[in-house]
């Protein structure tokens, strides 16, 4: 049983008086959330998620709020919280982001989309597919995915990964990992395979015969890694180019 001590010198409260003990500030009830492919989230992260959703719900009108990205991975190796707001209304993203970061004292990466744009992204863009493969949302996520290969869009995405070939020595381990993930996600998407963090990492490990930590920690054999990377990149580029010109 917890003990609560009351000062001996007190007004209006005699010895033996019956009292009611309650918090000075009542806690807000937690928002019900829906989890997709998240095994376990640390309590402090759940508190942050609840604070984000509570603030957005009280501040603006929207159809859904989705938390995604590395924030949902186990541990605390993340740079920011990826927040996706689904609404047809025009919102000031910069202002919402600024208020969120001031309230939570944590960096956020905020994206505002309408349902039509999100549906189109899920159909044509591996980045969107991967983004929602693991997430937490305020409302249920119900989208019918019909994969459409837009080779011009994939060509633009693949171009980002070319930085590995031109600037290898100046990239950090995390940057090399992200560029590799981008390339492999496009490969899985074109091959009509599932695009998720787990499947991307599995394909990277299988293709390069190294662990994900070896990439992130920059423990790479430059010649061996770049030889394999260039091979995958060039083959993928040819597939996109050949199909995109038909």
Please tell me which residue, 72 or 26, carries the higher pLDDT value: 72
pLDDT for position 225? 97
User: Global pTM?
Assistant: 0.76
Confidence of residue 178 (pLDDT cuts 50, 70, 90): very high
The CATH topology of domain 34-137 is Beta Polymerase; domain 2 (3.30.460)
Distances (CA, A) of 214 to 157, 180, 208, 219: 24, 13, 11, 5
Tell me the domain boundaries of the chain.
34-137, 151-244
Question: Average pLDDT for residues 27-53, to the nearest whole number?
Answer: 83
In what side-by-side order are the strands of the sheet with 81-86?
Answer: 34-36, 135-137, 64-68, 81-86, 108-113
pLDDT for position 25? 46
> Which residues, including other chains, have CB under 8 Å from residue 151's CB and lie 6 or more apart?
240, 243, 244
How does pLDDT run across 5-14, given as a tens digit for each residue?
565 555 556 6
């Amino acid at each position: 049983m917890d003990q609560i001590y009351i000062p001996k010198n007190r007004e209006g409260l005699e010895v033996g008086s019956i009292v009611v003990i309650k918090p000075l500030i009542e806690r807000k009830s937690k928002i019900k959330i829906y989890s997709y492919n998240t095994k376990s989230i640390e309590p402090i992260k759940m508190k942050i998620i609840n604070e984000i959703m509570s603030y957005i719900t009280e501040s603006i009108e929207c159809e859904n709020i989705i938390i995604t990205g590395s924030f949902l991975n186990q541990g605390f190796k993340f740079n920011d919280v990826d927040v996706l707001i689904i609404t047809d209304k025009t919102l000031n993203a910069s202002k919402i982001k600024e208020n969120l970061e001031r309230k939570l004292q944590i960096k956020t990466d905020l994206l505002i989309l309408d349902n039509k744009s999100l549906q189109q992204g899920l159909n044509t863009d591996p980045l969107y597919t991967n983004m929602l493969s693991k997430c937490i949302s305020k409302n249920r996520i119900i989208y019918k995915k019909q994969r459409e290969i837009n080779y011009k869009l994939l060509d633009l995405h693949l171009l980002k990964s070319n930085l590995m070939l031109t600037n290898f020595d100046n990239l950090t381990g995390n940057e090399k990992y992200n560029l590799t993930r981008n390339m492999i996600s496009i490969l899985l998407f074109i091959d009509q395979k599932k695009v998720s963090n787990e499947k991307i990492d599995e394909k990277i490990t299988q293709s390069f015969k190294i662990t994900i930590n070896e990439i992130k920690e920059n423990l790479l054999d430059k010649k061996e890694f770049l030889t394999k990377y260039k091979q995958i990149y060039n083959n993928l580029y040819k597939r996109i180019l050949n199909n995109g010109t038909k």
